[in-house]
């Protein structure tokens, strides 16, 4: 069985339409991952269990997304030495500014790599996780370089 190198966690099933953009990038780059719902507020025991055991399960990078009072990425980061890439999910009431500020404003000493609000941030979280893994994986480095080249090729110079 392939070990999942990236663990994607999100505060609610309702975050999946956003967070699956991270999963899609990992699929494209052939990075094995798993995705789970782990709520800092509704499932606190699951949060502790996940955060403390992810490294022992072979996880190398965690992607954590949440919306509103988005404590999930910071709390995960408080309980693991693994890098945590965070996605502020766009909330209905405050458009994700609440998510962004509650994720980004970490106290000194506990680091979280916060991405942009919403789907672009989720896709970039997938890229960031792959780039971290690629520092010790030449084949993945090659796939990343190819992925970027294809993206560049798809941008037409002429305005239609
Ligand atoms: C957060 O509350 C979740 O991350 C989600 O973005 C938000 C709303 O959750 P639901 O009420 O849709 O389950 O914990």
Residue at token pair 């090729």:
153
Taking CA atoms only, the protein residue closest to ligand 1 atom 12 is 14
Task: Please state, as a whole number, how many other Cβ atoms lie within 10 Å of the Cβ of residue 12.
Answer: 18
Alpha-carbon gap, residue 145 to 147, rounded angstroms: 5
Tell me what percent of the residues of the chain surpass a pLDDT of 90: 99
Kindly report the protein residue whose alpha carbon is nearest to atom 3 of ligand 1. Answer: 11
pTM over 0.90: yes
How long a stretch of residues is the chain? Answer: 160
Pocket test for ligand 1, best of 8, 67, 91 (most atoms within 8 A of CB): 67
- Residue 23 Cα to ligand 1 middle (Å): 19
pLDDT attached to residue 160:
87
Q: What is the ipTM of this complex?
A: 0.97
Q: What is the CATH number of domain 6-153?
A: 3.40.50.1970
Domain residue spans of the chain: 6-153
pLDDT of residue 84: 99
Is residue 17 in contact with ligand 1, taking CB distance under 6 Å? no
pLDDT digits (tens, 9 = 90+) for 82-96: 999 999 999 999 999
């Amino acid at each position: 069985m392939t070990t999942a190198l990236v663990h994607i966690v999100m505060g609610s099933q309702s975050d999946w339409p956003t967070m699956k953009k991270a999963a899609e990038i990992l699929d494209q780059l052939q990075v094995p991952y798993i995705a789970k719902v782990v709520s800092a507020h509704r499932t606190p025991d699951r949060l502790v269990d996940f955060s403390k055991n992810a490294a022992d399960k072979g996880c190398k990078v965690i992607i954590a997304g949440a919306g509103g009072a988005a404590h999930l990425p910071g709390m995960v980061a408080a309980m693991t030495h693994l890098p945590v890439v965070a996605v502020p999910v766009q909330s209905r009431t405050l458009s994700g500014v609440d998510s962004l500020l509650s994720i980004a404003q970490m106290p000194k000493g506990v680091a979280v790599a916060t991405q942009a609000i919403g789907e672009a941030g989720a896709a970039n979280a997938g890229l960031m996780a792959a780039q971290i893994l690629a520092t010790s994986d030449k084949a993945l480095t090659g796939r990343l370089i190819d992925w970027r080249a294809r993206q560049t090729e798809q941008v037409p110079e002429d305005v239609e």
